[in-house]
Amino acid sequence: MTQSTTIAPATPSDQTERVLRIRGHHRLSGKVQIGGAKNFALKALAATLLTTDEVVLTNVPMIADVISMAELLRAFGAEVDVLPEDDRVVVRAKTIIRTDAPPELFKATRASVVVTGPVLARMGEISFHMPGGDDIGRRPIDMHLRGFERMGATVTQDAEGITASAAKLRGARIYMDYPSHTGTEALLMASTLASGTTTITNASAEPEIVALGNMLNRMGARITGLGSPTIVVEGVERLQGVSEVCMPDRLEAGTYAIAGVITGGEIELHDVREPDMLPLTEKLLQAGADVWFRDNRMLVRAGDRLDAVDIQTLPFPGFPTDMQATLMPLLTQATGISRVQERVYEDRLRYTDELLKMGADIRVERFGEHGEKLATTAHVYGPTPLHGARVKSLDIRSAVSLVLAGLVAEGETEVTDVYHIDRGYARFVEKLSGLGADLEDTLISI
Ligand code: EPU
């Protein structure tokens, strides 16, 4: 049986627009269950294409990007059951029926780029167009393609798209200029079925990649060095099915932790992994909040002060670029000047213009020897009282940033382009409401 699900609770028409309306100044408290990680679940779904056996994924976040990825797998010929009632997805990719990725489905998410690895390894060819994803800066895939070439693939690029082909991939020494997250994943998956040994140097050490590698090992792959800059993969003939629980989403956990601190509240997060949270935990402590971990729970309590802190975004274990926007509203409420250096994506501070409409005092500097945009730093002057406004989400994380700002703003905030939140957060309004936030997902006339 093949099922799909609708994520959006309200469907806008020509005359209406969907907004999240938030009435601020409520102290959040209580418990919240953290769901499975988007940036793991999407790659685990891609990994199902590496085997003819059944793969069962549980604790899957029921978000729009997961539905898109399920559609992409179906287009390749996999049978996919999406079971929202128990957060489970079952995939059987007995046969792969095509090697050209349908452009619309491929462009729906960034994560689709990682299916290139499994399809190339299993079928000897993959054709695709550039993947989509958030508009947060340059997002090339040169390292993925160079890695495929090192493994013996022929890669061609023209107006029709990109094709990589190799009758059989062979193990290779691959050096990545930068520890690309999806680049490491695509190459890791491709190399599991290559002949011989592949070494990926300057590999990404993000927790979701460690989890993906562990899943692949349970499927029969032979991978060592996960979580370090050098991953070594001994190719095997075939991989088998697996039943895998998606790891908790550190970015979702960070969102509710910040929501608690920014509103002067106290939140208990269930299903959180302490090592994954350290970059954020450190900043919350520096800002004056209290944080405790016990087993897989995290307790966050606002302190009696909120101090400015500096952050710079870096690959793991540095501070995640995906949490930069989420932390920003808190910095607007902290005393002093916080410096936020975005070092992964040059356009990932654009959303701060929306926070200015709510009264924030954030000044963004752009750097670059020849005037090019290379990195951006925001100077956040706080504390500034925020007031409600109509503001526009630009991507998943900026959407959430605006909602968090709405939680401390005077009056009503309306966040538009809510579909960004659907892409990355399951049961967002329900979870925030459960903690005492006053918000609704509604349609307004335009
Ligand atoms: N880069 C290159 N060449 C490449 C690949 C990347 O120059 O071939 C550069 C990019 O331009 C960027 C940097 O390397 O400056 C990092 O890019 P990376 O490849 O690591 O990012 P990604 O794999 O496209 C994933 C997540 C993002 C997250 C980044 C960084 C998925 C689907 N996306 O993107 O998540 O911000 O890693 O950790 O896994 C999000 O969840 O909101 C999100 C945007």
Question: DSSP secondary-structure letter at 99?
Answer: S
Sign of the CA dihedral running 100, 105, 109, 112? negative
SS3 60: coil
Atom of ligand 1 nearest to the CA of 109: 32
The label of the residue with tokens 């997250």 reads: 181
The pLDDT > 90 percentage for the chain reads 88
In this prediction, residue 9 carries a pLDDT of: 58
Question: Would you state the structure tokens that stand for residue 151, as one six-digit string?
Answer: 């493994």
Q: What is the pLDDT of residues 130-179, one digit of tens each?
A: 877 667 677 789 999 999 999 999 999 988 899 999 999 999 999 999 99
- Report d(CA 187, CA 139) in Å as an integer: 17
pTM above 0.75, yes or no: yes
Residue 34, phi then psi, degrees to nearest 5? -85, 135
275-321 pLDDT per residue, tens: 999 999 999 999 999 999 999 999 999 999 999 999 999 999 999 99
Residue 15: band (very low, low, confident or very high) from pLDDT cuts 50, 70, 90: confident
Q: Inter-axis angle of helices 324-332 and 274-287, to 10 degrees?
A: 20
Atom of ligand 1 nearest to the CA of 114: 32
Q: Which atom of ligand 1 is nearest to the CA of 145?
A: 8
Instruction: Find the 45 Cα to ligand 1 centroid distance in Å.
Output: 18
Tell me the pLDDT tens digit for each residue of 90-115: 999 999 999 999 999 998 888 999 99
pLDDT at residue 175, as a whole number: 98
- Ligand 1 center to 440 CA (angstroms): 31
Residues 6+ away with beta carbon under 8 Å from 145: 155, 157, 162, 164
pLDDT band at 221 (very low <50, low <70, confident <90, very high): very high
- Ligand 1 mean position, distance from CA 69 (Å): 17
What is the rounded CA–CA span in Å between residue 145 and residue 99?
16
Q: For ligand 1, which residues put their CB under 6 angstroms from it? A: 39, 42, 110-111, 134, 138-144, 178, 180-183, 321-322, 344-345, 396-397
Structure letter (DSSP) for residue 418: T
Q: How far is the CA of 255 from the centre of ligand 1 (A)?
A: 20
Q: Give the tokens for residue 420.
A: 């960004």
According to the model, what pLDDT value does residue 13 have? 75
Relative to the CA of 142, which ligand 1 atom is closest? 8
- The mean pLDDT of 213-226, rounded to a whole number, is 98
